[in-house]
Amino acid sequence: MAVYLCHMPGRALPLLLLTIFVDLFSFGVVIPILPIFVKDIGGSDLAVGLVTAVYSLAQFFLTPIWGALSDRYGRRPIILGSTAIHTLSYGLMAFAGTVPLLLGARLLAGVGSGNISAAQAYISDITSPEKRAGSLALIGAAFSLGFIFGAPVGGFLMADYGFEAVGWFTGGLCFLNLVLAYFILPESLQEKQPDTPIRVLPLRAFVRSFKHPGQRALFVNYFVYTVAFFMFQLAATLTWKEERMLSEKEISWLFSFIGLCSGISQGLLVGPLVKWLGELRLMFIGAGMLMVCLSSIPLIPDAWFIPAELIVLFFIALANGLMIAPGLSLLSKITRSEVQGSTMGLYQSTGASARFFGPLMAGVFYGISHEVPYYVGAVLLLINFWMLGGLRGRRLGVYMARARGPKRSDQKAD
């Protein structure tokens, strides 16, 4: 059966999305209730930020390695290996009753989570350039669906059975994910690159990417946006619990709402909007939308909290869709095909570093004043307008033309 399925390329995309969904569902179960659990076991605001951030610290170091390994050995073995590590990490989380143990479990989970670069390279392998933005948006939609269904499950398990049940449940789901991927996920890479360099910290590869003006603009844009978004995520969780007096279940439903809106925007809107406006215009709109939303959150009065907060969360989710998939699509179009996996890995590593600094900064700023994380995030987004402006006009077309040109030996670690 496994051999039969692996020779059905027409089913590759839905099978990959199913694997990603199971993986991200487990992530969605944990994230909304993790800051609350850290507080429950005696952690400080800084500890909340650190436990949330250490996951992304591991991603920063491992994602480029997973991406480069997928160029060398293929996408399928990397997805399988990283999913096995995920299974172990969530199982260990069931025993994490102290902050140090929880840190270790989340660090291991971050090691396994680097498979997203292989998944993105997988989609680049099996889709044409004109359809790539819509296909990559489906990864964002799978992520959003993970929050839609995972967040309320996490809130229910935490409220009624405790955090230990969350660990066992997510560990079991990741094991199911591993079994599904083993039997139904085919290989997508037609020509492996055995000479792809594997480095623990690929500083030279980062330098090469930053020398490319188009890649530099997209990398910085992704970093700044992700810092701002994850500052909002952690600050909002603590604000909803400590100021708005919401329960774990209610907080999880709010995250589910964000996931629903983000899934709709990425799964249904991004593809048609890219054809209409183009990736770059959508990214400008998304950055502006998120900046306005973050600035408005601290100003919402208690009397209008539910309707106003839902409206703001809807536009935050929409901004997320307008920033992520178009950015990935542009990066894939200005990157040479033989280094798609390694470049996607560097890109995701950039996002991982932002997901490390974002929660950590949110924990520090939240300890100063509960409103500061939102305002700092809004100000940071001004950098995005500056960086994206460098891609306007003929420059973007030149970068795309270079990426489609003949293979060059100096692009091995672009």
Q: Do the domain assignments include residue 277?
A: yes
Cβ-count burial 234-243 (b if 16+ within 10 Å, e if not): bbbbbbbbee
Question: Does residue 156 fall inside a structural domain?
Answer: yes
pLDDT tens by residue, 300-332: 888 888 889 899 999 998 888 888 888 888 888
The verdict on residue 2 lying in a domain is no
pLDDT at 189: 72
Q: What is the pLDDT of residue 202?
A: 65
411 found inside a domain: no
Domain enclosing residue 365, as ranges: 8-188+201-403
Judge whether 410 lies within some domain: no
pTM for the model stands at 0.71
CATH of the domain at 303: 1.20.1250.20
**365: in domain:** yes
Count of domains forming the chain: 1
**pLDDT computed for residue 228 by the predictor:** 93
**For position 72, what pLDDT does the model report?**
84
Please report which confidence band the pLDDT of residue 9 belongs to, taking 50, 70 and 90 as the band edges.
very low
Does residue 412 surpass a pLDDT of 70?
A: no
Residue 145 in this model has a pLDDT that exceeds 60: yes
Three-class SS string for the chain?
Answer: CHHHHCCCHHHHHHHHHHHHHHHHHHHHHHHHHHHHHHHHCCCCHHHHHHHHHHHHHHHHHHHHHHHHHHHHHCHHHHHHHHHHHHHHHHHHHCCCCCHHHHHHHHHHHHHHHHHHHHHHHHHHHHCCHHHHHHHHHHHHHHHHHHHHHHHHHHHHHHHHHCHHHHHHHHHHHHHHHHHHHHHHCCCCCCCCCCCCCCCCCCHHHHHHHHHCHHHHHHHHHHHHHHHHHHHHHHHHHHHHHHCCCCCHHHHHHHHHHHHHHHHHHHHHHHHHHHHHHCHHHHHHHHHHHHHHHHHHHHHCCHHHHHHHHHHHHHHHHHHHHHHHHHHHHHHHHCCCHHHHHHHHHHHHHHHHHHHHHHHHHHHHHHHHCCCHHHHHHHHHCHHHHHHHHCCCCHHHHHHHHHHHCCCCHHHCCC
Pick 18 or 48 by higher pLDDT.
Answer: 48
Q: Would 36 be classed as within a structural domain?
A: yes
Mean pLDDT, all residues of the chain: 80
Residue pLDDT, tens place only, 70-105: 888 888 888 888 889 989 999 898 888 888 899 999
166 has a pLDDT exceeding 60: yes
